[in-house]
């Protein structure tokens, strides 16, 4: 344990040097969670380190530059913190949105060695052409353009050498710091720092097995079958392994290049609307969405079809979470703040001990000023940021499963505004949300769902009762994942009620 602590302190010292070099220590003073003595100590320890010249004035941007210079794990940490204005403050969070997931490429001989070891053949045996200069290099992997023996053009993604070791070392530091924070700070426990780091680890581990990324792309492609103007590249499964993924090469213009898109005659407003609506369909309808929607990961083909690439970061939502999300957004669109409050309390996001009326009032205070702004100034991303900022006031605990969703929604809105500055996230979102609400929350649909679920519920009844009785005899320690205000039998009551209603329905149908 002592050896690990010494190693972590050495890592912290190197981190302090990096922060000093980019003038980013000042950013820490603007984060409430950081004790006042922390930045002072860092300045004392690194007083001899010269700062770089021509640094931006924005503290968040300086912090972003420092994290990017420290390596891949710090880039992922910064991208996560950019979604947490409640944790780091809105100015810092906005500055961190400039953090780019780009690093210098690694040398070709290492890429070649990885590819040949993973696929069991030489490059010349697998490809008729292989460009040694990568077309993209990110924190996890880099991508090369190549041509198969049959003439098919492909993109070959190869993991960085020793990337697993670097991430394991840095993530162990983050976990240690999060654990220290939760042991000594009630605010850190409310913010669930350990679970936030665990979410980063989960995401990164998926990114470092390219077979999982390929499977995610295939699943998303199945979900998006038939979606007009949107598609995914096909996977070359026989040339994909844990550290190498080969997929269809896509020719087109990246969404980042607005001028080229306009010159090619594409309807930029329609493109922005399509990107937002496709994201909402993935999140609400399927509960599985592309969670890395930066402008370099979407390519527009000459036909106008948007092609998504890079599936290392994907998000999932349960059906219940999708329902809460849809109802919250629908409530804001309709300015029904009582409904927004109801959903937050029903989901367990707000403790029952808090005031329903005061929470609804807080939601109105957040939303009404934004809704009354001109179209080009309305921001769903800012509304979500303000919503998260209310968590401390109402003793709300962090929901780690929603972090990716918030980040992706902000990115989707940013892309729509990049393509068309007068884009209105609410107007774009409303038809998708209303369709989902009608299709999933109407009494008829819920009744049909209850009938369809009835046989399965009856089949599982004996095991559920047995498990419930066992829990009554041997109560388990309370989990951080369950809101502390929720009664232990809360999961059984709806289940039992559903059985009673189902029995009545069966009786009626049998008449």
* Residues labelled as active-site residues: 292
For 33, other C-beta atoms within 10 Å of its C-beta total: 15
Could you tell me the sign of the dihedral formed by the alpha carbons of 284, 432, 207, 250, in that order?
Answer: positive
Q: What whole-number distance in Å separates Cα of residue 203 and Cα of residue 315?
A: 9
Q: Answer whether 131's CB lies under 8 Å from 146's CB.
A: yes
Quote the crossing angle between the two packed helices 193-207 and 72-81, to the nearest 10°. 130
Nearest by Cα to 401 from 488, 312, 308, 319: 319
Tokens of 100: 């780019």
State CA 125 to chain mean position distance. 39
Q: Answer whether 410's CB lies under 8 Å from 93's CB.
A: no
Nearest by Cα to 215 from 207, 225, 292, 230: 207
Q: What whole-number distance in Å separates Cα of residue 391 and Cα of residue 402?
A: 14
Alpha helix segments (H runs only) across 131-185? 163-184
State CA 231 to chain mean position distance. 21
State CA 146 to chain mean position distance. 31
Tokens of 470: 């066992």
At 336, phi and psi to the nearest 5? -100, 85
Could you tell me the sign of the dihedral formed by the alpha carbons of 363, 365, 367, 371, in that order?
Answer: positive
State CA 487 to chain mean position distance. 30
């Amino acid at each position: 344990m002592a050896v690990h602590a010494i190693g972590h302190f050495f890592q912290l010292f190197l981190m302090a040097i990096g922060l000093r070099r980019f003038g980013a220590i000042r950013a820490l003073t603007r984060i409430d969670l950081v004790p006042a003595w922390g930045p002072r100590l860092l300045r004392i320890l690194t007083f001899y380190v010269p700062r770089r010249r021509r640094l931006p004035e924005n503290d968040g941007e300086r912090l972003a530059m420092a994290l990017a210079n420290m390596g891949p794990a710090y880039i992922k940490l910064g991208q996560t913190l950019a979604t947490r204005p409640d944790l780091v403050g809105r100015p810092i969070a906005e500055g961190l949105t400039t953090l780019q997931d780009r690093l210098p490429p690694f040398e070709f001989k290492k890429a070649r060695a990885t590819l040949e070891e993973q696929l069991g053949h030489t490059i010349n045996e697998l490809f008729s052409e292989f460009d040694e200069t990568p077309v993209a290099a990110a924190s996890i992997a880099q991508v090369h353009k190549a041509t198969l023996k049959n003439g098919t053009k492909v993109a070959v993604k190869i993991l960085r050498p020793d990337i697993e070791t670097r991430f394991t070392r840095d993530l162990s530091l983050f976990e240690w710091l999060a654990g220290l924070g939760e042991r000594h700070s009630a605010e850190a426990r409310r913010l669930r720092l350990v679970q936030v780091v665990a979410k980063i680890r989960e995401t990164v581990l998926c990114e470092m097995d390219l077979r999982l990324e390929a499977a995610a792309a295939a699943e998303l492609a199945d979900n998006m079958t038939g979606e007009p103007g949107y598609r995914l590249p096909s996977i070359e499964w026989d040339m994909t392994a844990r550290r190498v993924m080969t997929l269809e090469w896509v020719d087109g213009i990246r969404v980042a290049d607005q001028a080229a898109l306009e010159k090619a005659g594409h309807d930029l407003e329609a493109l922005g609307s399509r990107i937002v609506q496709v994201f909402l369909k993935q999140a609400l309808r399927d509960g599985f969405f592309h969670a890395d929607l930066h402008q370099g990961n979407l390519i527009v083909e000459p036909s106008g079809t948007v092609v998504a690439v890079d599936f290392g970061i994907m998000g999932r939502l349960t059906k219940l979470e999708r329902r809460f999300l849809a109802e919250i957004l629908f409530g804001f669109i309709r300015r029904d703040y009582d409904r927004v409050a109801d959903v937050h309390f029903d989901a367990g996001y707000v403790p029952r001990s808090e005031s329903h009326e005061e929470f609804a009032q807080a939601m109105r205070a957040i939303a009404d000023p934004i809704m009354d702004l001109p179209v080009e100034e309305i921001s769903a991303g800012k509304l979500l940021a303000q919503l998260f900022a209310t968590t401390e006031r109402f003793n709300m605990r962090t929901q780690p499963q929603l972090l990716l969703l918030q980040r992706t929604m902000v990115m989707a809105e940013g892309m729509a505004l990049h393509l068309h500055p007068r884009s209105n996230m609410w107007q774009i979102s409303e038809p998708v949300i209303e369709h989902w609400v009608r299709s999933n929350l109407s009494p008829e649909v819920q009744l049909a769902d209850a009938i369809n679920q009835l046989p399965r519920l009856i089949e599982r009844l004996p095991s559920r009762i047995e498990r419930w009785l066992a829990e009554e005899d041997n109560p388990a320690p309370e989990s951080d994942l369950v809101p502390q205000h929720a009664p232990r039998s809360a999961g059984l009551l709806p289940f039992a009620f559903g059985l009673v209603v189902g029995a009545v329905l069966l009786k009626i149908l049998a008449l």
